[in-house]
Amino acid sequence: MKPPFVITVDGPAASGKGTIASRLAADHGVQMLDSGLLYRAVGGLLAAEGKDLDDVEAATAVAEGLTVEQLSNPAFRTRAAGELASRVAVHVPVRNALFRLQKSFCLRPEGAVLDGRDMGTVICPEAPAKLFVTARPEVRAERRWKQLTGQGEPVTLEDILEDIRKRDERDGGRAASPMRQADDAVLLDTSEMTIDHAADAARRIVEAARARWERS
């Protein structure tokens, strides 16, 4: 039996993947999973408990007890929460605790869009449409800087570029589900694209995948 029409959108911070994923979800009338928010919430809740980010047992307990209601906290969208997320995301038991919830999106009969780092490689390797969205670090830093200053966070562009470099290294270099392009994912480099241009390019890639899936 063919799998549901699931779209995975992976890539590094501020590559445009979040916006692209939500537009694709709207196009297809399906739910989107922002998996980064799960890791942000685990990191944020663990820090709020005053626990060490390397306390794997405590981090796993937070991940196991995570509820959907907890995800709406705006504190999880901050720069600091992104850093906390990538620190707890290296722990295998934390990733395992979040697996089932993520996999359930991948099994929805109506399809779904999954946004993250390992959606196409680990969570939903069977997805019929996969994108790996990237951009040069300097371009991503500028986008993230605009987003955070727009939210009222007083950050400098240099600090954000440093965060992005550090996070790329940690996410790509970790042993557990490192960020990487799935063999069957289409690479979309958005460095020279506006977000509308990037979303259109993503739409065309997904339409081609959808036509193949319908014929299969």
User: Letter for the amino acid at 83?
Assistant: E
CA-based nearest residue to 128, from 211, 5, 9, 2: 5
Contact region with ligand CDP (CB under 6 A), list: 10-18, 126-134, 188-196, 205-213: 10-18
**Binding segment (CB under 6 A) for ligand CDP, from list 21-29, 78-86, 131-139, 198-206:** 78-86
Spatial separation of the C-alpha atoms in residues 142 and 140, rounded to whole Å: 5
Beta strands in 69-213 (DSSP E): 112-116, 129-134, 186-189
Separation of alpha carbons 142 and 149, rounded Å:
11
Which residues between 92 and 151 bind ligand CDP (CB under 6 A)? 116-118
Question: Does position 35 bind ligand CDP by CB under 6 A?
Answer: yes
Task: Work out how close the CB of 208 gets to ligand CDP at its nearest, in angstroms, rounded to a whole number.
Answer: 24
By CB under 6 A, the residues from 140 to 199 that bind ligand CDP are 167, 171
Q: In this complex, which beta carbon is closest to ligand CDP, that of residue 132 or of residue 171?
A: 171
The count of other CB atoms within 10 Å of the CB of residue 99 is: 14
In 3-state terms the chain splits into helix, strand, coil percentages (rounded to 5) of 60, 10, 30
Q: Which residue lies nearer to ligand CDP by CB, 9 or 206?
A: 9
Phi and psi for 13 in degrees, rounded to 5? Answer: -55, 135
**Residue with the shortest CB distance to ligand CDP:** 36
Span from 35-43, 62-70, 150-158, 202-210 in contact with ligand CDP (CB under 6 A): 35-43
Contact set with ligand CDP (CB under 6 A): 13-14, 18, 35-37, 39-40, 82, 85-86, 89, 116-118, 167, 171
